Copies of this chain bind each other. A is one copy, B any other.
Amino acid sequence: MKVNGKNYTSIWVEDNNKVFIIDQRWLPHEFKIVELKTINDFSNAIKDMWVRGAPLIGVTTAFAFAKTMQLDSSNDMLNQTKSILLSTRPTAVNLHWAVKKMFNFLIKTPIDHRAHEVFKKANQILSDDIYSNRKIGEHGFKIIEDIANTKKTNSINILTHCNAGWLATVDWGTATSPIYFAKEKGIDVHVYVDETRPRNQGAQLTTWELFHNDISHNLIVDNAGGHLMQHKEIDLVIVGSDRTSSTGDVCNKIGTYLKALAAFDNNIPFYVALPSSTIDWNITDGIKEIPIEERDPKEVNFVQGKDKNNNIISVDIAPRGTKSRNPAFDVTPSRLVSGLITEHGICDANYNSIKKIKNFSEGNL
């Protein structure tokens, strides 16, 4: 997608083996590009959220193996890389997925072929992500088009929560992909962006993406969406997902559940855009079974922004010493979800419908 008129992805390779990322910690205030060279660079980038978003964490993980294997393709290094990466963000599903995928591939590859094969494999994971998101956009576009046809309008208002945009993936994003697709097709989309406290990924990242890609939008506080829905100012909600149960319960950034309740109460379609790899087949009751990470309470007490001298700083919003609780995700029960938009098509949020998508992704359909 575009930044200052130029095309970027959130991670990319130059000269066949140099890996670059956008250091997202400074967005929207500063656009910093960083080369990741060592395992420490990769581990810090994931742990300290220079990169974030489930799909991007997965791709970054793949390139961490690529870089280490190029220097030393021994089994020792392979095991060490695995354990360092797994310790960065223990609850990130795509981290585990990518570690497993790369490790299993490499352990089967003869040591003297690893350096050569590993970049090809990582590049494949990167391309698959782009392809998958583009397909999510195509499928999701049909929902937007249908609403436009039914309402006999070319202006569609979409609410999104957090950042399930291209910065969370390699390109296109998940929840934003149908929006970019609709814009390409000439639909006049307007996006309401939840700021998404505590980390403000909506205010910092989604607004920045939409601005640079010329999509009309308004920033709103997380409290405002229900009121806008009551007054028919929202036609559709699209969010991403960090993990979705086989029965359609959706784990996503904290606050998603509240927006799903409001959408349901106001008869507004509530869709979840996700690559099918996000579906966890071991889980049937999302609320009971998905453990919710409680992050550092400082994220609640402090807010990062730019001061009048253009320095990026944090300010303390509560009395010093106030104890906070900071659950990072919540689970939206399937009964509130209108459907899942995957790279293989749209399905209902129930086991039988999701199962068809699984069969599709496994080539059984």
* B residues less than 8 Å from A204 (CB atoms): 317-318
Q: A300 interface residue, CB < 8 Å from B? A: yes
Q: A18 interface residue, CB < 8 Å from B? A: no
Interface string of A246-287 (1 = CB under 8 A from B): 000000011101110110010000000000000000000001
- Let me know if B302 and A305 touch, CB within 8 A: yes
In the bound complex, how far is the Cα of B108 from the Cα of A97, in angstroms? 79
Q: A303 is contacted by which of B217, B303, B320, B327 (Cβ under 8 Å)?
A: B303
* B residues less than 8 Å from A195 (CB atoms): 197, 300, 317-318
- Let me know if A315 and B306 touch, CB within 8 A: yes
* B residues less than 8 Å from A323 (CB atoms): 217-219
* Among A53-61, A122-130, A145-153, A224-232, the stretch in contact with B: A224-232
- Let me know if A224 and B322 touch, CB within 8 A: no
- Let me know if B257 and A226 touch, CB within 8 A: yes
In the bound complex, how far is the Cα of B29 from the Cα of A60, in angstroms? 41
Q: A223 interface residue, CB < 8 Å from B? A: yes
* B residues less than 8 Å from A203 (CB atoms): 317-318, 322
- How far is the CB of A3 from the nearest CB of chain B, in Å? 12
Interface string of A293-312 (1 = CB under 8 A from B): 00000001111111110000
* B residues less than 8 Å from A261 (CB atoms): 226, 258, 261-262, 265
In the bound complex, how far is the Cα of B222 from the Cα of A300, in angstroms? 10
Q: A315 is contacted by which of B28, B292, B303, B319 (Cβ under 8 Å)?
A: B303
Kindly identify, within residues 9 to 29 of chain A, every residue whose CB is under 8 Å from any CB belonging to chain B.
28-29
| Residue ID in chain B nearest A254 by CB atoms | B223
Q: A220 interface residue, CB < 8 Å from B? A: yes
Q: How many residues of A contact B (CB 8 A)?
A: 64
Q: A331 interface residue, CB < 8 Å from B? A: yes
* B residues less than 8 Å from A318 (CB atoms): 28, 195, 203-204, 207, 219
- Let me know if B207 and A222 touch, CB within 8 A: no
In the bound complex, how far is the Cα of B307 from the Cα of A192, in angstroms? 30
* B residues less than 8 Å from A265 (CB atoms): 261
Q: A324 interface residue, CB < 8 Å from B? A: yes
In the bound complex, how far is the Cα of B230 from the Cα of A1, in angstroms? 38
- Let me know if B315 and A219 touch, CB within 8 A: no
In the bound complex, how far is the Cα of B219 from the Cα of A198, in angstroms? 11
30 A-B residue pairs with Cβ-Cβ distance under 8 Å, sorted by A, are: A29-B319, A195-B197, A196-B223, A197-B197, A204-B318, A207-B322, A211-B319, A218-B323, A218-B325, A219-B301, A221-B254, A221-B255, A223-B330, A224-B326, A226-B257, A226-B258, A230-B330, A231-B287, A257-B262, A258-B258, A302-B305, A303-B303, A303-B315, A304-B317, A305-B317, A306-B320, A307-B307, A307-B313, A308-B313, A315-B315
19 extra interchain contacts, Cβ-Cβ under 8 A, other than A257-B262, A313-B315?
A28-B318, A197-B221, A203-B317, A203-B322, A211-B319, A219-B301, A219-B318, A220-B326, A222-B222, A222-B223, A224-B325, A224-B326, A228-B325, A231-B287, A304-B317, A305-B314, A305-B315, A307-B315, A315-B315
- In the A-B complex, list the 4 residue pairs whose CB atoms are closest, starting with the nearest: A223-B255, A305-B315, A227-B330, A28-B319
